[in-house]
Amino acid sequence: VQLVESGGALVKPGGSLRLSCASSGFTVSGASMSWVRQAPGKGLEWVGRVGSKTFGGATDYAASARGRFSISRDDSENKVYLQMNSLNTEDTAVYYCFTGVPQGGFWGQGTLVTVSS
């Protein structure tokens, strides 16, 4: 199993960014897929997830992400996305793709998002 995140960049406050998570050896449609972030020098914070195809692909989010972030999945590409809008400096972090514990608990290597003017 390999999860590879991409799309991290330097973005100005108020800007938007879309992160991607490409999976190999693991079918994302069959799993609940999460995004987890880690601010510099801080702990892990769950951002949100998209449910498996079996459960209709429902999404839910942490309070800090609700209304600004959106998670989606492309089953044909075997990818998961995190669309982030209205970014602020507190969103600066490494963002990890994570399969969820029941699905094996696999982590990607992360992608860095820096929000700064």
Positions touching another protein (CB under 8 A) are 34, 36, 43-46, 49, 96, 100-102, 104-110
Q: Report, in Å, the least distance between residue 10 CB and another protein.
A: 20
Question: What span, in angstroms and rounded, lies between the C-alpha atoms of 27 and 31?
Answer: 7
- For Cα atoms 104, 54, 79, give the angle at the middle one, nearest 5 degrees: 60
CA dist 14 → 20, 67, 74, 86, 88 (Å): 20, 14, 26, 4, 6
Q: Side chain identity at 65, as an amino acid letter? A: A
Q: Report, in Å, the least distance between residue 9 CB and another protein.
A: 19
Q: Which is nearer to another protein, 32 or 79 (CB)?
A: 32
Q: Report, in Å, the least distance between residue 53 CB and another protein.
A: 19
CA dist 72 → 13, 31, 89 (Å): 23, 13, 24
Question: What span, in angstroms and rounded, lies between the C-alpha atoms of 100 and 80?
Answer: 13
Q: Which is nearer to another protein, 9 or 44 (CB)?
A: 44
Q: Which is nearer to another protein, 70 or 107 (CB)?
A: 107
Q: Which is nearer to another protein, 12 or 43 (CB)?
A: 43
